[in-house]
Amino acid sequence: MAYKVGIVGVTGAVGQEILALLASRNFPVEELRPLASARSAGKTIEFGGKTWTIREATPESFEGLDFAIFSAGGSISKALAPEAAKRGCIVIDNSSAFRMDPNVPLVVPEINAHALKNHKGIIANPNCSTAITLMGLYPLHKAFGLKRFFASTYQAVSGTGAAAMEELKKQVVAWASGEELETGVYPYQIAFNLIPHVDSFLEDGYTKEEMKMLNEGRKILELPELVCTCTCVRVPVFRAHSISVDAEFEKPVSVEAARKAIAEFVGAEVQDDPANKVYPMPLFYQNKVKCGVGRIRKNTAFDNGLALWVCGDQLWKGAALNAIQIAEEMDRQGLLKK
């Protein structure tokens, strides 16, 4: 069965990845409806051996679609996702607009695909760092029972968008040429620097991004009492996020059992042989479906604890890939057609 598919924000970094992944994963597309802002309307893109004209995203542009993937930011999602759903078009939304809405499933298919059947027209994609972190934590939760965790994220500039990736590139070139480095996307130079500031600050000193790890983690894992603290850092890496995790569990843990649990999980692979310098690095997790987990060791700070390191592609598992996996799972469950 083939589907009529809309992509909102098709010209952006995530939108381009969605197009490429739909093609490479052979998702059955009968009609592609590329949607963007008015300034992109009329331009064309190639997909599936055909040329498709970009339309302005308006409420009427969702008529007749089976589903649409939104990757154009929270304000666009808030304005247009309910309009699309009203017209019978299922929305898979990459923004934070609906993630904590109790009526909207927040889904990582490898973890809580069962939540999809309860959708009311809109499904939320989780925050990129949350999704990648849970690829390492979920199999350990199933094995040992997750109690609490501490995370420090090392987030690639792709999380800010295509302009941030270009800024990093230009700064590196300028540095190598002995020229002055210009800033614009970030308040400080990102090349050869770390910025402990992702998203806006809240009154308690945490950022919105840091609180997503706790709030979204609770919802996806269905653990309303889960305890977590997080520090998010922007790093001069183009597109793969890394997360350092210290987790405490209900049951006794071992490194061997942890490796086995991760190896058996469909969303991750074990890269953990420090003696031979084998561990996940963002350099090797660009354009990869699975996330990598390594540096697995007993945590020395508390009982039943593990320390680990997770890497994953921010544009894939953190955004475009997870959205398409949601669509694939909905296809399997027969939830996409009206």
Write the CB contacts of 3 (distance below 8 Å, at least 6 apart in sequence). Answer: 27, 28, 29, 30, 66, 67, 327, 331, 336, 337
Q: Are residues 32 and 87 in the same domain?
A: yes
**Distance set, CA 28 to CA 25, 139, 162, 288, 322 (Å):** 9, 30, 28, 21, 17
- The H-or-E segment that residue 20 falls in is helix 13-24
CA-only gyration radius of the chain, Å: 20
Q: Which tokens sit at 330?
A: 């909905």
Structure tokens at 271: 């890269």
- Here the CATH number for the domain that contains residue 51 is 3.40.50.720
Name residues of the chain where pLDDT drops below 70. Answer: 338
pLDDT at 250: 97
In a domain, 71, yes or no: yes
Report the distance separating Cα 251 and Cα 317, nearest Å: 29
Residue 160 lies in a domain: yes
Name the amino acid, one letter, at 230.
C
Tokens of 220: 């996806």
Q: Give 42's contacts (C-beta < 8 A, 6+ positions apart).
A: 53, 54
107, 51: one domain: yes
Write out the residue range of the structural domain in which residue 233 sits. 129-313
Residue given tokens 């990459």 in the structure block: 94
CA distance 243 to 137: 11
**Residue 5 burial by CB count (10 A; 0-12/13-18/19+): exposed, middle or buried?**
buried
**What distance in Å separates the CA atoms of residue 70 and residue 73, rounded to the nearest whole number?**
8
Residues involved in catalysis: 128, 241
If we measure between CA atoms, which residue out of 161, 104, 111, 100 comes closest to residue 136?
111
Strand bridging mode 122-124 / 44-47: unpaired
CA–chain centroid gap for 231, Å, is 17
In a domain, 293, yes or no: yes
Residue matched to tokens 């331009």: 43
Cα(161)–Cα(163) distance, integer angstroms? 6
Three-class SS of 194-226: CECCCCCECCCCCEHHHHHHHHHHHHHHCCCCC
Contact indicator for 136, 310 with CB cutoff of 8 Å: yes
CATH number assigned to the domain comprising residue 282:
3.30.360.10
338 lies in some domain: no
Count other Cβ atoms within 10 Å, centred on residue 95. Answer: 21
140 and 117 fall within a common domain: no
Looking at the fold, whether 180 and 323 belong to one and the same domain comes out as: no
> What is the per-residue pLDDT across 182-226, written as a single tens digit (0 to 9) for each?
999 999 999 999 999 999 999 999 999 999 999 999 999 999 999
159 and 260 in a single domain? The answer is yes
Round to whole Å and give the CA distance between 44 and 127: 30
Distance of CA 332 to CAs 28, 97, 117, Å? 12, 26, 11
73-128 confidence digits (pLDDT tens): 999 999 999 999 999 999 999 999 999 999 999 999 999 999 999 999 999 999 99
Beta bridge partners of 293: 270, 310
Cβ neighbours of residue 14 closer than 8 Å, sequence gap 6 or more: 71, 94, 315, 319, 320
Q: How many structural domains is the chain composed of?
A: 2
Are 246 and 308 in the same domain?
A: yes
